[in-house]
Structures are given as C-alpha cells and as structure tokens.
Structure 1
C-alpha cells in the first residue's frame, strides 16, 4: 500500500522532467530545436543580434519603417519668391506663408520642361520670310534662356548669308566667323578645336557669320551641313539664326536639318500676311508636318491698339503647334548687346515659354539607340 508520503513523492517525481542524473532537462536534438517564442510548426522568429540582443525589427530591418528622406526629413514649406507673396514671406521671416502663386507655379513648370533630358543632338532653326521682325533677337534670347536653365552644351550659329548680327547682339565679338571654321573643318577633332571659333555669352557659345557680304553670300547648303555635322557632334543643342527669306541655299539646309522650327512674325496686317505666305510656301513644298509642329513667335514691337492681336493669335494657333507673343521691351529695342537681367519680366516669361515649347520636342533617346550616329565628314 502506498501512503500519503509516497503519493506526494510520486507527484514530485511526475512533475520533474526526465533528464540527466543532475536533474536538468534532456537536450533536444538539433532537428527538434526551435527558436524562442515559436510554436510547434509555426514560423521561426528572427534571431536576436549577437551583440545587442535585439531583433532585426529593432535594428531597422525589413520589419521596421524604412529610413528614407520621405520618413526622416521634415518637410520644408514651399517658399514663394515672387510678387507680394514673396515679400510677405520675407518680411515676416516665414511666419506668414501665403503659398506659391499660380504665376510662380507656371514658371517652375516651364523650367521643369526646359530641363527635359536630351539623349541626342537637337537642332533648332529660327527663320522668317522677311527681315525687321526680331528674328535674330528671338534666336539670341531663346539661346540664352536654354543655356541659363540647362547644364549641357548649347551653341547659337549665325547662318545669315547677309552679314548677320547674332554675335553683335550676344557677345560683340565677330572676329572669328563660320567662314574660317569651314576652312579648317577637316582638322576639328575635339570640342577645344571647335571652341576656337566661338565666343561666349554667359553659358551660350556663339558662332558668328561672315561679315563681308561678298564672302557670306558664298556660304551654301553643303558648307552649312558640314558645319552642323561637326557642331552636333560636340554640342547638345544647336540654334540656327537662318536669316531672312526661304529660297537661299543655306536656309534650305537649315529647314532640312531642323528638329524644331521657329517662325517669327509680327501681329500687324502686313506681318500676319507674310507669316501666312511663309506657312503656305512650306506647305506647298511638302513641309506641312513642319508647319504643324512649328512654334510661331509674334513680336509685338509694332502692334498697336487698332490691331486685334487676339484674333491673329487664334488664327495661327489653328495652323501651328504653339504661338508665343513677345511684348515690346525697351532694352531689346535698342539693338545693343542683350542682357537677360535687363529685360522686363513679361519678356523673360515669353522667352521662357518659347524655350519650354521647344524642349517639349527634345528626344531623350540616347545616341545609337533608335538614332543615327553623328560622324565627322570625310
């Protein structure tokens, strides 16, 4: 018979796990071992770090919130810089922030478009059927705006066969011209070789036209295309001031090579008529696609209150991709060297809008991927 003491002993013995002689529990086999905190058949918990004893979630592992700029950097307020909003923000030390206005939002969006990536050389032709409408001014200003807002190489070429003034308006240096570059074109093997024939206006490089009318008239399409072949090898954007008229050989070359076409006119009775003739001339000669993709610039120096500029604009918006009006500007009207800091804000906005329209057609495809490689002439 078992006594109460024996029953108590049996209870203690039953409560003790079977193990070694020292009373410790039997060690499970390696296949039976499980990490602490797991149930049989359940997923294993991450092992603690050897040194810290913390799980990966505590150390910023996959279970922790990702440490990115979006999660750890406090968002700065969007600071206005222009107009009364910028003045109010500055005057109160940022205590009062009315936010960025619609005009500043539009400018920021234009700059974003201008900075669109460009994988292949892009050529822009600026032309008109008659002189005196501000074509050279447009070519110069859009070149300055593009160079101001982009980090790649941009060159403006004066291909005017009648002693153009592009270099005079930008750098005042026409001592080295495109004619001299043509004479040594076979030896141009680097950017430094080409830069010997250009002058600099801010970040924009300028290639002047021949100033002797007898020599510049001999600048034909073949020579222009050879020059552009070299420039497209070393520059990302080539802007051509093609001169007035459309029948000259060199101007025909600018139309053939242009990826973007800018037509300059004025919103007057005779100016609108000449722009219409230009578009009709291009359409009849098989360039209807270029007309539809062109950007028309209306220089408003001569526009008066008796001219319905809005109607002129609506008419050409139906024929071209975009129409940009450039207001009268006293600084540009002087004909002197152009300084973007001295033109009126509305004029700067117009040229920024023009640059944004042109950048919309920039091709981001790298050279050699869906594009022809540019080679030097033999």
Structure 2
C-alpha cells in the first residue's frame, strides 16, 4: 500500500490542527521537509480525521461545556456598597486676619440698668414672679417626646434676625432638655449659624451627610460627623463658607429623615422665603418660626405673608410663631401694637428686646445676655415646643 500507512500521521496532524511533516517512522517521502509551524489557535468547529481509504472522514465532536450551576443563596455575591465621600479638610469659621478685628464682647445691658433691676427685685415681688415663670417654662421645655421634633426658622428677607433666633432656640433646648439637640444650617450660601454658635472649624456639611448616614448607625457614629457644642448639642453646617454652595431638597430631605430618630429636638436655620428648601422645611416641620425686624416695613411684609398662610391648611399658621426683633434700643414703631395686629391672623407672636450682646453679631454667650432677653428666649422656646407637640 503506497503511502497507505501514512494515515496515522495525517490523523495526528489533523488533531493538532497543524500541517507539519509526518511523524518519524511512518515511511514518508525522503525529500526535504520545511520546519513545522506553530499550531494555530484551536478552532471552535469540530475536528475531522481522514480514514484509511483517504476518502471517508470521521468527525470528532468537541467537548460539551459544563452545565451552569445555580448559585446557592450563600454563593450569590452581594452588591458592592457605595463608597463614602472622602473626608474633607477642616476649615476655620472665621479667618485669622478677621478674628483679630473683633472687640471684646459686651453684656446685653449697661451696668446702670442691671443695678436698677437688682434693686427692684430686692424691694418688690418681681423676683418671685420671675422664678415662678421660669419654673413653668422649664416644665414646658422638659416634656418628653415620642419622635424627634423639627422646628424650622426662616424670614422674609436677610437681616431679620433669623440666625440669631435659631441660635437662641437651640441653646435654650440644649440647656433645659436631657436628650440630644441638633442645629442644622439649611442656608449654605450665606448662613452664619456656626459663627453665632461659636464653632471654630467646620468639616462635614449637610450635603455630605446625605450620602453617609445609614439606618444601622448609632448616635455615636452620627455625632462623629457633627460639630460638638456645649450642653449636649451638635451642629450640622450647610457649607464651609464657600460662596455659591448649594443644597437641594432631595439631600435635605434625606438628612432630616435619617437624623430625626437620633435627636429629641432639631432646629433648622432655613434660607429666606420663598427659597425651595425653606418651603420644604416649613411644610415638613412640626412648628415654624418667622423672624421679622421690629420696623414698619418688616411688620408690613410679615403681615402680608401671614395673610397668604391663612389660605393654606390651618395647621400651618396655627403652628407658626413670629419673632419681632428690636435691632435698636428705641424702635420706630409701637412694638406691642404691631404684635397684636400680627396675632389677629392666628399666628403666635413673641417680642425679642434689644440686646447689645446680640446686636454685636458675634458668638452667642448666654451669660452675657440681658435678663429680659433670656426670659424672652425661654418663653419663645417653650411656646414653639408646645406647638410642635400638637402635631405628630
């Protein structure tokens, strides 16, 4: 059989997928044979082999793939958790060059006024009445809560004392209550709440915390992202003082819903109306505070807003308190008459008297406040807290 026994070499070459020379000892031709080339990649098509006759070919089927295994519940991979934002650098609230320009803070009242008040308390029964009022106020402020109360503070325009009122409320709640108190700055562009509360540095902001807080976190975990304040209070700033910083309603809602279960009372320093975040904060809170200057234009614009609120659901104006802040020692209007006019709309009204310490605009120090200011702040905090308790 000429070349009849070469079929074995052909089969080997076909199985290798190569066209090299026949294997040694198979009786091939003695003519020179080129060197074998590297085997090409295996073809996905079935291999074929030549039979002894050279005309009939047999097919070698490929190895079938292993059947896919259904993963058990323990083998199902868990989706990767979203990465938390990297920790921002701390930033000073007040630039060191500017902090040196501040003068020593002064008391809210002159010495003569304080001495006169002390003498009156000695020779009259005003001291007993004052103690009785503070006792009733403290009892109202110390009522337990089943869920966190959120109180929104806003204004019609800038310079109305909005941030000052928010700082006074938060300080009062932290002083009288045992559960944690949170102050949130929802005015990232022009807010000054950290300065009012005496914070020195800022790091995490409201927008940062929206992507960090998780349900399984403890209070200790959460407060690690906040600014510690005196008397069991914490601050969540709106920004690090950057011009143009933004806070959208989605981030604000996520933060407020997530933090509500950790704090008994939360005071929110909102943007001025009609900003979108301010409207969301007012509608979602259990009580609202509208700061207004004790001036003719301030009272007029506030009265117009209260008339507009009368067309909203009744709980909106029933749960609102207007704070008339006197920015000068002698206001240009009859403050009590203006307060009565505003009360006619159904809203509550509290008057915050002129205080030299508050007028300076620096860090709030309660020991330097005038006695009438401390009493007014406590009355305001108690009224707002009681209103928040009425709405679950």
Offset from partner CA, 1:2-59 (integer Å, 9 cap, x none): xxxxxxxxxxxxxxxxxxxxxxxxxxxxxxxxxxxxxxxxxxxxxxxxxxxxxxxxxx
1:150 is aligned, of 170, 177, 198, to 177
Q: 1:175 to 1:273 in 2, by over 3 A?
A: same
Does the CA contact (< 8 Å) of 1:155 and 1:239 recur in 2? yes
Cα distance between partner residues in 2 of 1:238 and 1:305? 32
Does the CA contact (< 8 Å) of 2:271 and 2:277 recur in 1? no
Cα distance between partner residues in 2 of 1:115 and 1:329? 26
Does the CA contact (< 8 Å) of 1:266 and 1:302 recur in 2? no
Cα distance between partner residues in 2 of 1:206 and 1:194? 11
Q: 1:181 to 1:163 in 2, by over 3 A?
A: farther
What secondary structure, in the 3-state scheme, does the structure 2 residue paired with 1:315 have? helix
Does the CA contact (< 8 Å) of 1:174 and 1:209 recur in 2? no
Shift of 1:85: 9.2
Does the CA contact (< 8 Å) of 1:116 and 1:359 recur in 2? no
The aligned counterpart of 2:238 is: 209
1:316 aligned to 2:349? no
Q: 1:188 to 1:277 in 2, by over 3 A?
A: farther
1:192 aligned to 2:220? yes
Shift of 1:105: 1.1
Q: 1:303 to 1:267 in 2, by over 3 A?
A: farther
The aligned counterpart of 1:259 is: 286
1:52-71 paired onto structure 2 within 5 Å: none
Does the CA contact (< 8 Å) of 2:219 and 2:262 recur in 1? yes
1:298-313 paired onto structure 2 within 5 Å: 298-302=324-328, 304=330, 306-313=332-339
Cα distance between partner residues in 2 of 1:297 and 1:287? 21
1:281 aligned to 2:308? yes
Gaps of 5+ in 1: 1-81, 89-96, 366-370, 372-378
The aligned counterpart of 1:32 is: none
The aligned counterpart of 1:160 is: 187
The aligned counterpart of 2:318 is: 292
Runs (4+) off by over 4 Å: 82-88, 97-100
2:158 is aligned, of 131, 141, 145, to 131
Aligned residues: 273
Normalised to the residue count of structure 2, the TM-score between the two structures is 0.64
The aligned counterpart of 2:106 is: none
Offset from partner CA, 1:213-272 (integer Å, 9 cap, x none): 33x32x1111111000111021111110012122x2211220121101111102211101
1:178 aligned to 2:206? yes
1:1-378 paired onto structure 2 within 5 Å: 83=118, 101-170=128-197, 171-186=199-214, 189-203=217-231, 204-210=233-239, 211-214=241-244, 216-217=245-246, 219-246=247-274, 248-284=275-311, 286-302=312-328, 304=330, 306-363=332-389
CA RMSD, aligned part only? Answer: 2.6
Q: 1:230 to 1:134 in 2, by over 3 A?
A: same
Higher deviation after alignment, 197-206 or 145-154 = 197-206
Does the CA contact (< 8 Å) of 2:295 and 2:331 recur in 1? no
* Greater per-residue helix proportion: 1
Q: 1:298 to 1:100 in 2, by over 3 A?
A: closer
Does the CA contact (< 8 Å) of 2:149 and 2:265 recur in 1? yes
Offset from partner CA, 1:106-151 (integer Å, 9 cap, x none): 1211111111121221110001111101100000011101110110
Shift of 1:287: 4.1
The aligned counterpart of 2:66 is: none
Q: 1:298 to 1:196 in 2, by over 3 A?
A: same
Shift of 1:181: 1.2
Shift of 1:186: 4.4
Normalised to the residue count of structure 1, the TM-score between the two structures is 0.66
Shift of 1:282: 2.9
